[in-house]
Chains A and B, each alone.
Chain A
Amino acid sequence: MSSRNKILTAVAENQPRTAPFPEFEFLDAECIYLSETFINVLTGIGGTVIPVETMIEIQNYILQNFNQGPRTVTNIPALNNVAELMHQSSTSPHALSDVDYAVIDTRLAVAENGAVWVTEKGLSDRALPFICQHLAVVLNAGDIVSNMHAAYEVINADDYGYGTFIAGPSKTADIEQSLVLGAHGPKSMTVFLMM
């Protein structure tokens, strides 16, 4: 018998008798101030939120503030005058290793934990939001939901090969519990919040 069948047989023999399929409801909007909560939580975990009203404001912000390195890339066509526009899978992920800033967009964010949902559809490569030194995300305030249950309601309506929640810059506290921003992923995360 293959290991697969041995395992499945042993599991079937040993598993307890039925336990009901759990039903629960956590969808009630727990906070009405979605943008405010999102801003507070993301700021609390090391992110920066810049409220904006137009793409021009974002362009100006990028021009004035993204100056820690020369290479800024984006998947948002409206930003192509301030950043290099990436095309889907046009390069190998290794060609992104010198990206200083990546500006991407998202259609979903979660107020309770400050996370944004990113799928590979909009990215030129899965590695982009990790390999860049600094990450910026453009988010419409109307796309913020209250909690993770509400987020999965939205996610389930879509399909993806890869998707990730990103909540703040990469971080570690492995050395004596001292929090350091910038572990292996980006050192900072900026969210442009379109009000």
Chain B
Amino acid sequence: MKTTDKDHAALANEFNKDAPRVDWHDETLWWVRQKRDNAVKKIPGWEELREAGSQIKNNVLANLSGYLKQFEANAQANGVHVHWAIDAKEHNEIVLELLQSNGVKKIVKSKSMLTEECNLNEYLNLNGVDVIDTDLGEFIVQLANEHPSHIVLPCIHKKKEEIGELFHQHLGTPAGNADPVFLTETARRHLRETFLTRKAALTGVNFAVAETGEFVVCTNEGNADMGAHLADIHIASMGIEKIIPKRKHLGVFLRVLARSATGQPVTTYSSHFKTPRPGASTHIVIVDNGRSKQLGREDFRNSLKCIRCGACMNTCPVYRRSGGHSYNNAIAGPIGSILAPNLDMKKHADLPFASTLCGSCTNVCPVKIDIHDQLYKWRQVIVKSGHAPVAKKAAMGAMTRVLSSPVSYKVAGKLGRLMMKRAPFAVNNQFNPWYKQRELPVVPENSFGEWYKKNRNNKPKDI
């Protein structure tokens, strides 16, 4: 999913034009991060839980092919149909074929970032299938003809007044009513009708258990269950990395997922689908789409441990102030910036640079992914393979020249200090993004080198 050619910096610039909105976005996400902190502090052994989650996922990655086969065999024994898709295209074709062969023209869908990654909605629409996203946040972005800006909070970028206006246009609610309770109730009634009439439901998968062949879907709204239990066909799309070895491991992941995501002790619903409902059919589509390639990249394979809690986004100072759409990828934020270059390094070369490398993401990640280290490593891979963003390339070229010669380093330092004193506007101008919302520091008289030369003879007093 790449909808424009603009890079992260350019899109972030657009987002930053409305300063009060940026502050609001920033504060809202930080509030979610704080809720996470409170929830985490309440349970004993949080670090041990993270460690367990991380180790289980390490074990999954090291045995993935075996676990996938085991999962397939058990799911089939449960009466579930298993399909394999090498890429987004094949995934979409499998889904369309399943719908067409059952004469289905309208489906309901609950949240699935994988189907966003595959652009499934667009594909199905083009082929005459109507898709309704039933997660309220996704329903809203669908009305707005946008994509989710956050994996857990899809319309976190939208103000309630804008949502009220969308509902006014599309659902006929009174103009100017932006009350969240009223709008939610409206969507509830509208979608209830939809749930009752659709023959096929598509859901994502949070965890797929190799040992039992069951899969677990977590929601707060109950929309995955409403869809699946009322439809004749349930299609569940999952990436190959969603496998966990044993059912008891769900204990670890369900304890960390919602706490990390929103600070809830658990999602309202954690539904375990093992066999199809009598009279209905269940299909699982297992998708690779670049994941096996990422598995082979030693430095980046840990990104496949992600359980999509969104905590790294809520805490990221860049994400909070640039908005999810500035990443121009189905998955935004720090983890999206690691996953995207795997799919297309050139197209997403800007993303690993959209980070301060502060490490906050790594600290909150419930499965201990070394997120900021991987971002740093991607930068090196990207620069080496010649895909660095243009401005970065020029700056780094100049840096290399200056830093590799002591003379030019000294001269550059002198010039810099002179410049900042005499002509600060030459540095602090609209062409230098660092100075947005910042003031110049006071310039020292001498460089450290000069100061040291002058003072080295004044021996320090004995203490």
Does B121 sit at the interface, judged by CB under 8 A?
no
A170 to B301, CA, bound (A): 36
Does B229 sit at the interface, judged by CB under 8 A?
yes
B65 touching A148 by the CB < 8 A rule?
no
A45 touching B32 by the CB < 8 A rule?
no
A162 to B271, CA, bound (A): 7
Q: B180 to chain A: which residues have CB within 8 Å? A: 175-176, 178, 180
B230 touching A93 by the CB < 8 A rule?
yes
A8 touching B69 by the CB < 8 A rule?
yes
A186 to B58, CA, bound (A): 38
Does A163 sit at the interface, judged by CB under 8 A?
yes
A14-B183 CB under 8 A given contacts A130-B222, A131-B226 = no
Q: A155 to chain B: which residues have CB within 8 Å? A: 247
A26-B274 CB under 8 A given contacts A10-B293, A184-B222 = no
Which of A127, A161, A183 is the one whose CB lies under 8 Å from B221?
A: A183
Number of interface residues of A (CB under 8 A): 71
Does A11 sit at the interface, judged by CB under 8 A?
yes
Please classify the interface of chain B as helix (H, G, I), strand (E, B), loop, or mixed, using the class held by over half of its residues.
Answer: helix
Q: A14 to chain B: which residues have CB within 8 Å? A: 292-293, 295-296, 301
A172 touching B221 by the CB < 8 A rule?
yes
- Binary interface encoding of chain B residues 303-326 relative to chain A, with 1 for a CB under 8 A from any of its CBs, else 0: 000000000000000000000000
Query: What's the nearest-Cβ distance from chain A to residue B366, in Å?
Result: 14
- Binary interface encoding of chain A residues 90-107 relative to chain B, with 1 for a CB under 8 A from any of its CBs, else 0: 000110010000000000
Q: A165 to chain B: which residues have CB within 8 Å? A: 254, 266, 269-271
A148-B68 CB under 8 A given contacts A14-B293, A183-B221 = no
Please classify the interface of chain A as helix (H, G, I), strand (E, B), loop, or mixed, using the class held by over half of its residues.
Answer: loop
| B-side interface size class | 35 or more
8 A-B pairs with C-beta separation under 8 A: A7-B68, A14-B296, A22-B52, A147-B255, A175-B140, A182-B185, A183-B221, A184-B192
Q: Which residues of B contact A (CB under 8 A)?
A: 28, 31-32, 43-45, 48-49, 52, 55-56, 58-59, 61-65, 68-69, 78, 84-86, 90, 134-137, 140, 153-156, 158-160, 163, 180-181, 183-185, 188, 191-192, 195-196, 220-223, 225-226, 228-230, 240, 245, 247-248, 250-252, 254-255, 262, 264-278, 286, 288, 292-293, 295-296, 298, 301
